[in-house]
Structure 1
Amino acid sequence: MLEQHRQQKSKRKSRLTVAKFGGGVIGKNGENIPLVVERIKTIREISDAGPLVIVSASKELTSLAIKVGEEYAFSGVGELTLLSNPYVWIKDSFMKEPYKSNFIHELSDCFKKVKRALGQIAENKEFINVNRARVLAYSGEVLMGIALSYVLNSYGLESTHVQIENWPIVTDKNFENANFLEEESRLRINHLVNPLEDGKIVTMGGYIGRTKDGLETTYGRGGSDKTAANITMLLKDVYDVTLDFEKSSIVLSADPKIKNIDRKELEEIHYLSYNEAILAGQFGMKILTPSAVRDVYEAGYDIPMVITDFRNPKHTTWIGREVDINGDSIKIVTGKKNCALFSLDINMRKSFRDYMKKIKRFHDFYELATDEINRKSRFLLLDGEFAKRNEEELKAFDEYATVEYGLAAITLVGDRMAEAPGVVAESFVAIKERYPKLNILDGTIQRPTSLILLVVSDDDAEKAVSAIHATRNYVNKKVKLADYYTMFTGNLGWSVI
């Protein structure tokens, strides 16, 4: 599929794949690295340059690094070998000389930086800001990018890694949830282009950025996806570029881990628009970080993206700017737990929206129907922890503002739902037929995104998703039948159905 897509694209630029491998794919302690190498070989064969490979830390390593950092902030001590042992194993298992010896020096240099940062953390009794970023960078993504380059060379694939002083991702000084500065970053792309033009595979860690002053920063959770998207944005004018997210599976119509989901009803989703991918990611689809797609979408770019099952690469989900006019009305049913409902005076609505987007840089919230009786605007925040951390600031907008926790947002994703009247009613009926006592606390249709949003308690989230998903195929068939009748009857198609 990837090769066929490549052949259809413009021949004026060299073909380049930016391939991102997450921690789940790399595996615990890097156990899946041989499979990653094989995928990189395959991608290289269908590319004119590269590939350029973005990596996360190995599975569970970031959580370990956070635990160690917090231990140093609390007591001044922690088990540092927990962070270095995976790299020693990778070195001994997958590297040959002279790359093994070279990596030992890189490993030592990185952990000197980790120890320095931990010393500052212990002294200040805070695991925050640049020291937090340094611990995570030099024990995690930056070091994994270095390690993979030496592994690739050991396998006979000429590779180089991006040096931290040449880091192409430039960000602001929001150290723990940094914002990408595209124009400043564009000044550094020669550090990527030059080795690519020399025929090398280039590796670098995701998640990590640097300020213009050279201070390390981190993106938010799932930031390696965002790094891959930002790198693709920087290279789109130089190469015929495709962004490939190598994952453990492609997109399905619902999360198979949800209780009571009928596996036989799950369908592979082979195409999503940018809008659909962003919404699905915001509302709990864990396979892709929504900010990665949002950055490309809001910049106005049209960059092809693909989610590839790295164990079965013929299985893919493509993501593009165009709406799938022949696709299902309901592509995905998903849910996001741990949400919060924030209510404030209706006159503060615009100020609150501007504050969230421009000051807090927080986009994962939706406005629900106004409480006209009490003159309250109501916003559903998709991150309850964010609401808790910032509750004092939020309530400063209105002394009578309230925050309600323990809520879940259930959503149906599909650009064509605007053409399918009655989907909300079908969803309510599906839930009530299967779970009569389940209380739907709220519901809304968001225009123009065609987002259908239901609010339930956290405890009822999985029940609601499974009930709606069970009717997904029925509703989609109903819509297609209406389309068929419309061909002959005009707008009477839905009336006939």
Structure 2
Amino acid sequence: MTKLVVAKFGGSAIGPDGMLIPEIINRINNLKKDSKVIAVFSAPLTTHNGKTRSLTDVILEQGKNAENGQSPSLDIVKSTYDKILQLVNPENMDACKNTIDLNLKKASKALDDALNAKEFVDEVRSRALAFSGEILMSHVMNYVLKSNGIKSDSVDFDDWPIITDNNIESTNFLASKSRENMDKIALLVEQNEVVTMGGFIGKTIKNVTTTYERGGSDRTAADLGILFHKIYETSIDFEKDSAVVSADPKIVESNLSQVLQLSYNEARLAGMFGMKILDPIAIKEIVENGVDIPIIITNMNDPEKTTTIKRILDEQKGHPIKIVTGKENCAIFRIETNLIQKLLTSLEKDKRYSEFVMLSPFTKDGIEFSRILFLDGDYVKRNEKYLLGFDSLATITYNRGVITLIGDEMWRVQQVASRTSAKIGDAGLNILNMDAQEETSRIIIVVEDADDNIRKAIKAIHQEISKINFI
């Protein structure tokens, strides 16, 4: 069976104003030696007033201006693509310019619609982001690849294979409908060495433009893997500035160990709890669709350094605790246990939201209460009315941070709970909740989200891990 690599290049891989695109070309040339390639692109970064920003944030800012009655501007966006255009050869220059102008005209129309309506939401927001960011970048990269002698083509939005539900701004992948719409991209893959496509963007059956939440390009790569895994021997490759290490290098600066393999479960938990490995919903969608695809996290600067994410791991010989990570801005929702099932069903079926974990229940005055740890406090704030609709006497506590240890075989580590909690105490932090479950091989420690509490706790625990014996 022919091999196919779905390679995702995020904004940091592209670099400010396309600075790292020559490295992307090198990586694609290497990947296509023994595989067909679908290259999924995020919106590029730009440099403005001395600061590096994503074009996504630039457009969101212009949309906010439009809501407030200020005329939006695409000058920063246009300047960014003009710089990337310099990587296109004369033969492809005019076509690329026309593509940039056409897409920015669509984005400008969406922003004008927002200005007239004084509202930057739903499809207007999605169109502005799509045609200034991911979709446009995929077309520009197609011309860049052609200019470097690579046989490539790009996916037009009319032929988009990612079909989603009607949740416009935080949409959900519909695998069966997407399979019905993949004839064009399948033909492009068959006829070319590389096919480029924008991440983050979907569309409904009725052609309404939709977006995933931030980080959604990871989901696009996973969705394409789901669609193609029966046609090609498919793998997914996330090109980053580092493979996975045992903690965030921005927090723990020394004694980091490289993580060679992660299970789907380990990678999803790490992503949920703050490690920027990949969007955990991407793995959730792979699992829900019954697919087994290897996911490779590749260090673009040193492609020999990789982390492989698999459903079933090879025999593990290293320390069972692979990662120490943490998440700020969490919230705890307390509700009577006899009322929680309706909420959980609604979160799954109606909201299709899963970025939470269940903590151990407790009993007070003869009544059992359940606790849900939401890993995004802003989501809870936006949906307070919805959540409290299931129990008006439920309580919500904000400003919580959580630290967790990742490792499916953590049960093999001796005294792990006592020693990690002791290290947090040594760091001067007060543990508000500690939840350890042998069945899920999970330890969750909740502290107050204040100052640099989370960073201090991660450093303290990471330092202790290597000293703890394991079976």
TM-score exceeds 0.5: yes
CA contact (8 A) 1:247 1:310 kept: yes
TM-score by length of 1: 0.90
The code of the aligned residue for 1:29 comes to: D
Q: Distance in 2 between matches of 1:80 and 1:456?
A: 43
Q: Distance in 2 between matches of 1:311 and 1:323?
A: 26
Q: What are the residue-to-residue correspondences of 1:377-396 with 2, within 5 Å? A: 377-396=370-389
Equivalent residue for 1:204, pick from 175, 178, 197 = 197
C-alpha spacing 1:359/1:448, structure 2 compared with 1 (3 Å): farther
> Per the alignment, in what secondary structure is the counterpart of residue 378 of structure 1?
strand
Higher mean C-alpha displacement, 307-316 vs 119-128: 119-128
Q: Which residue of 2 aligns with 1:61?
A: 55
Shift, 1:419, TM fit: 3.4
Q: Is residue 158 from structure 1 mapped to residue 157 from structure 2 by the alignment?
A: no
Q: Distance in 1 between matches of 2:408 and 2:414?
A: 13
Q: Distance in 2 between matches of 1:328 and 1:132?
A: 46
TM-score by length of 2: 0.95
Q: Distance in 2 between matches of 1:446 and 1:83?
A: 49
Deviations 1:442-484 (A, max 9, x none): 0112464312111011121111111111111122xx11xx3xx
> Per the alignment, in what secondary structure is the counterpart of residue 407 of structure 1?
strand
Q: Which residue of 2 aligns with 1:147?
A: 140
Q: What are the residue-to-residue correspondences of 1:22-421 with 2, within 5 Å? A: 22-47=10-35, 50-59=36-45, 60-91=54-85, 93-258=86-251, 261=252, 263=254, 265-326=255-316, 327-374=318-365, 375=367, 376-420=369-413
CA contact (8 A) 1:262 1:470 kept: no
Q: Distance in 1 between matches of 2:200 and 2:26?
A: 24
The code of the aligned residue for 1:410 comes to: I
CA contact (8 A) 2:126 2:209 kept: yes
The code of the aligned residue for 1:175 comes to: I
Q: Distance in 2 between matches of 1:15 and 1:255?
A: 32
> Per the alignment, in what secondary structure is the counterpart of residue 368 of structure 1?
strand
Q: Which residue of 2 aligns with 1:487?
A: none
Q: What are the residue-to-residue correspondences of 1:469-480 with 2, within 5 Å? A: 469-475=462-468, 478-479=469-470
Deviations 1:4-43 (A, max 9, x none): xxxxxxxxx1011111101001011111111111110111
The code of the aligned residue for 2:345 comes to: D
Higher mean C-alpha displacement, 242-251 vs 80-89: 80-89
**Which structure 1 residue ranges, 4+ long, deviate > 6 Å from structure 2?**
none
Q: Which residue of 1 aligns with 2:448?
A: 457
Q: Distance in 1 between matches of 2:253 and 2:236?
A: 32
Shift, 1:289, TM fit: 1.1
CA contact (8 A) 1:20 1:53 kept: yes
CA contact (8 A) 1:189 1:235 kept: no
Q: Distance in 2 between matches of 1:46 and 1:458?
A: 48
CA contact (8 A) 1:18 1:54 kept: yes
> Per the alignment, in what secondary structure is the counterpart of residue 241 of structure 1?
strand
CA contact (8 A) 1:273 1:324 kept: no
Q: Which has the higher helix share?
A: 1
> Per the alignment, in what secondary structure is the counterpart of residue 431 of structure 2?
coil
> Per the alignment, in what secondary structure is the counterpart of residue 372 of structure 1?
strand
Equivalent residue for 1:429, pick from 408, 422, 429 = 422
CA contact (8 A) 2:72 2:112 kept: no
> Per the alignment, in what secondary structure is the counterpart of residue 251 of structure 1?
coil
The Cα RMSD (Å) is 1.3
CA contact (8 A) 2:323 2:407 kept: yes
Q: Distance in 1 between matches of 2:354 and 2:134?
A: 25
Shift, 1:368, TM fit: 1.4
> Per the alignment, in what secondary structure is the counterpart of residue 52 of structure 1?
strand
> Per the alignment, in what secondary structure is the counterpart of residue 149 of structure 1?
helix
> Per the alignment, in what secondary structure is the counterpart of residue 369 of structure 1?
strand
> Per the alignment, in what secondary structure is the counterpart of residue 354 of structure 1?
helix
> Per the alignment, in what secondary structure is the counterpart of residue 318 of structure 1?
strand
CA contact (8 A) 1:250 1:268 kept: yes
Deviations 1:100-124 (A, max 9, x none): 1001111121122112211211122
The code of the aligned residue for 1:198 comes to: Q
The code of the aligned residue for 2:20 comes to: N
> Per the alignment, in what secondary structure is the counterpart of residue 444 of structure 1?
strand
CA contact (8 A) 2:261 2:313 kept: no
Count residues in correspondence.
Answer: 458
State the percentage of identical aligned residues.
40
C-alpha spacing 1:446/1:99, structure 2 compared with 1 (3 Å): farther
Higher mean C-alpha displacement, 319-328 vs 206-215: 319-328
Q: Distance in 1 between matches of 2:381 and 2:131?
A: 30
Shift, 1:308, TM fit: 0.3
Q: Distance in 1 between matches of 2:465 and 2:210?
A: 42
Q: Distance in 1 between matches of 2:212 and 2:320?
A: 33
CA contact (8 A) 1:144 1:205 kept: yes
